[in-house]
Structure 1
């Protein structure tokens, strides 16, 4: 049975002076801005001082646009231009705050975008990250942002394309303060981001917003004189929230709370307001931490335990060799992929969900019943669920 733990936030992550914390920009956003600026300069042969790009929206739209000043934009060789955007991480502590996201752009004969990493951008050496081994650690959403930003400057579908190399001077030193080496990302930082915006999810202000959302659910139910308060659906992020809404279309929007790292805070507030039932929807990484009894899952205060996943795999499958492969997995995602390849994702995922449901119930001393669902990395497909997950009762689709 997992010991329940809820580590405190790092001192630097707590709300400052009662003021709302400032949002910032991801490395992916800054890289996309630099790439567009360098491409515009390549096309026009004129240095740029400011650039505007689109951000990915929740529903696949790119309507939101943001502008960035350029630290530098210049021609460094014939038909080679380079642009630099300095990252502002806002008030979310980040080792890449102030990093110089640099894009070097040149023509290539074939159409389309050729994207690579240069100095200070890590190289992927292990599976489990959803990225090509040997390729740059530039995640899928930043890749899409760079592709779109460059496409706004030049038609990538016809004629010549461009080569873009993203680099981060000093990135290898920055990476020493991250978990990149343990994850098999060598030589620099990762280019990250799913929304383009760094929101202080891991701060006291975000915890307060989670607690407020739970209070709103309970308060609205009482105001409507509902016989019972509907289930509180906790989701780890934007993708899982969207997926949970699709899985549970019979529930009102107020039920869904993007909990981030603050599962413990949400559960305490649920108990306080008499919310009788919680449904938790997440991906393998956060669920593994919760299965280990960790109720505050920020990366600085907890790590994924593949040993736990191996201990689940053995009894669930009766396959000791498979359990050893899971134990040696690089990440929770890697373990997920091992399960999937072996055809046991459903049975092992269900065992994880059951263990998480037990942790959530124990944390509330049985005052809240819990059910848990695991979704895939798109957040859209239900992979496994605990035995209390009742699709029909909530009007869900499976």
Structure 2
């Protein structure tokens, strides 16, 4: 066979070894609706409101019908307290019912319950009660054996209680529980991730936005169109609020309109960017979303795509990882677990760079190379860049 016998490569088609590009449809529950969708509150925000109500009851002896708590942004919001009780002297309990808005959420309507009691030592000790999952595997950024209460909700609970009680002077125990949490958790991926016995107390902004809906996709497309209309040199696609803030610090030379919180809708954002003539795209994200993109998945909703440990293992191998580490990564519980394994093996930068290189190639190929592309992997604060790569890096890419 001569070179003339080889069919020409068509833009967008995979070359040998490249992943197929896929953009799964939205789940049925996330199709377009005839009216605007409501935002709601995370389990973390509701838990902090319940904790504040119980703390106020403990400190004042009076049940509170309403409480006000601070979101991570500093904005303060008010919640109705469903019920409060004094269980015994020095021990109170309050309930706040979660409203998830119009996001498909198995925790909508759950009763976030906080029990607060005096303790013998200063400080606030946070515990997981009935219906809050226990972490049994690494890779979640939480202590194995501890409750599945994520860092931002922990901070919100500490602040909510600390505004009421000086815990440095007189300590308290705070226990968060969800009476039917174990039943609700059966409809989540918690058990697969090693979170057993209940739901997770989650949230990074305190607000549930309908990321998984057609309306959110429309808002992403609109944001990209606005950026394109202002002739920005690049759009920066970020997976969420933390990565967006980090990306703005990373790329201060770009105007604010360039940064788009894309959620799961990378493919939709890229199409709109090409239509608008934007010449360059930067994707900034954490290991999980980047792994899905490197696998060729452009709509990353959790119900339509999973992190492929095989891709992570291949990246480890390509980055020079020894066979033992590659085997560990192949059986990693989560992308975060793989991240931690890379870090422990001294492979984090090399593996992260390879991951970003693959993501940039997928982004460019999806747009049939109408755009140049770069990708950056940030840590789990969203603020520190671990690695970056891109098709335009040799031609003076935007990333440092």
Range of TM-score over shorter length: over 0.9
Instruction: Summarize the Cα distance change of 1:336–1:395 in structure 2 as closer, same or farther, 3 Å threshold.
Output: closer
1:3 aligns with 2:6: no
Name 1:67's counterpart in structure 2.
Answer: 78
How much does 1:203 deviate? 1.1
Matches within 5 A, 1:25-40: 25-40=41-56
Range 357-366 or range 161-170, more displaced: 357-366
Name 1:179's counterpart in structure 2.
Answer: 189
Range 344-353 or range 7-16, more displaced: 7-16
Say what the alpha-carbon RMSD is for the aligned residues.
Answer: 1.4
Match of 2:377 among 374, 379, 392: 374
Matches within 5 A, 1:350-365: 350-365=353-368
1:338 aligns with 2:355: no
Give 3-state SS (helix, strand or coil) of 2:254's partner: coil
Give 3-state SS (helix, strand or coil) of 1:75's partner: strand
Name 2:126's counterpart in structure 1.
Answer: 115
1:272 aligns with 2:275: yes
Name 2:69's counterpart in structure 1.
Answer: 53
Match of 2:212 among 185, 202, 207: 202
Match of 1:24 among 11, 18, 40: 40
Matches within 5 A, 1:275-286: 275-286=278-289
Name 2:29's counterpart in structure 1.
Answer: 12
How much does 1:388 deviate? 3.6
Matches within 5 A, 1:230-245: 230-245=233-248
How much does 1:391 deviate? 10
Query: Contact 2:137 / 2:193 at 8 angstroms: preserved in 1?
Result: yes
Instruction: List alignment gaps of at least 5 residues for structure 2.
Output: 1-17
Match of 2:251 among 248, 252, 263: 248
1:42 aligns with 2:58: yes
How much does 1:344 deviate? 0.7
1:157 aligns with 2:168: yes
For each residue in 1:5-46, what CA deviation from the matched residue of structure 2 results, as whole angstroms up to 9, or x when unmatched?
Answer: 1111112112310x2210000000110000010111011112
User: 1-side partners of 2:22 and 2:251: how far apart?
Assistant: 30
Query: Contact 2:90 / 2:118 at 8 angstroms: preserved in 1?
Result: yes
For each residue in 1:32-74, what CA deviation from the matched residue of structure 2 results, as whole angstroms up to 9, or x when unmatched?
Answer: 00001011101111222111111111xxxx2x11111111101
Query: Contact 1:15 / 1:21 at 8 angstroms: preserved in 2?
Result: no
Name 1:226's counterpart in structure 2.
Answer: none
Give 3-state SS (helix, strand or coil) of 2:104's partner: coil
How much does 1:367 deviate? 1.4
Give 3-state SS (helix, strand or coil) of 1:33's partner: helix
Query: Contact 1:372 / 1:389 at 8 angstroms: preserved in 2?
Result: no
Name 1:225's counterpart in structure 2.
Answer: none
User: 2-side partners of 1:70 and 1:391: how far apart?
Assistant: 57
How much does 1:186 deviate? 0.5
Q: TM-score, normalised by structure 2?
A: 0.93
Query: Contact 2:361 / 2:391 at 8 angstroms: preserved in 1?
Result: no
How much does 1:260 deviate? 0.8
Instruction: Summarize the Cα distance change of 1:124–1:247 in structure 2 as closer, same or farther, 3 Å threshold.
Output: same
Matches within 5 A, 1:303-314: 303-314=306-317
How much does 1:389 deviate? 5.8
Q: TM-score, normalised by structure 1?
A: 0.94
Give 3-state SS (helix, strand or coil) of 1:153's partner: coil
Give 3-state SS (helix, strand or coil) of 2:373's partner: strand
Match of 2:139 among 124, 128, 138: 128
User: 2-side partners of 1:26 and 1:387: how far apart?
Assistant: 35
How much does 1:387 deviate? 4.1
For each residue in 1:233-257, what CA deviation from the matched residue of structure 2 results, as whole angstroms up to 9, or x when unmatched?
Answer: 1111111111111111111111111
**How many pairs align?**
383
Query: Contact 1:112 / 1:157 at 8 angstroms: preserved in 2?
Result: yes
Match of 1:218 among 228, 244, 250: 228
User: 1-side partners of 2:115 and 2:394: how far apart?
Assistant: 50
Query: Contact 2:364 / 2:370 at 8 angstroms: preserved in 1?
Result: yes
Query: Contact 2:361 / 2:390 at 8 angstroms: preserved in 1?
Result: no
User: 2-side partners of 1:391 and 1:100: how far apart?
Assistant: 54
Query: Contact 1:251 / 1:394 at 8 angstroms: preserved in 2?
Result: no
Instruction: List alignment gaps of at least 5 residues for structure 1.
Output: 222-228
